[in-house]
Amino acid sequence: MTMKGGYQVFKLSPHGDVSNVECGNPNYVLRLGHAARGNEEVQVPMSGAGQYVRCKSTPHGVVGVRFTEKYPSPAPCWASIATHGGYQKGRGYRFPAVEGATVVAEGYSADGAAGRACGGEHVLVLVQPGCEFELESKYDSRWFSWDGENWLVESPSVHAARLALLEVAAGGGEWL
């Protein structure tokens, strides 16, 4: 199998923040979740050198392999997503099952002593170009769309408006 290069790694938050993960450090380990009672920490160690990453599944867990070259655009990317959007009694946060997003590793961050008060998954997701999903926080939500080069982050209203305008431009919708 030909390896064309690695994928970018991003950190996404349900509040709409997107940042690059600097995983070029030789000692960098991607940690998902928390290491405590009632929580679950999963570590994704990185081998090789470079800023771009592909992952391999082994019997002992997922391992990242670094590349100095970036996979040509439009490329998939990795997203480290802590889905916890703020404490709310009895509410747990999960990553939605959507087409084009594959969860390859999963940790858990819990609220309260020994994780007795719910919490949220912390997932490492392989996101294909064109994939979009919604992450909920305590009072709000954000839509994330990956086009193979950049992330587009929108509020639900702006997302609905964009899709509505696209539908009308394509001749869809119903005139009153």
Partner 1 sequence: MAINFQLLTLRGEHVTPGVQAAAMYPEITGSPQYVSFAPRWGSTRGAAEALAVASGPLGASCQVVVTGFMPVLVPSAGCPTRELVLIQEYSCGCGAKRWPDFNVTHDLTVLAKAGTGGGSGGETWSLVNAPLGWAAEVAAQFDNRRDAPDQTIDLII
What is the contact surface with partner 1 in residues (CB under 8 A)?
139-140, 155-158, 160-161, 163-165, 167-168, 172-176
**Smaller CB separation from partner 1, 35 or 168:** 168
**Smaller CB separation from partner 1, 69 or 167:** 167
Minimum distance between the CB of residue 120 and partner 1, rounded to whole angstroms?
18
Distance between CA atoms of 1 and 15, rounded to whole angstroms? 38
Minimum distance between the CB of residue 144 and partner 1, rounded to whole angstroms?
17
- Strand (E) or helix (H) holding 166: helix 156-169
Residue of 56, 53, 47, 45 whose CA lies nearest to 69: 53
Amino acid at 81: I
**Smaller CB separation from partner 1, 3 or 164:** 164
Minimum distance between the CB of residue 156 and partner 1, rounded to whole angstroms?
7
Minimum distance between the CB of residue 158 and partner 1, rounded to whole angstroms?
7
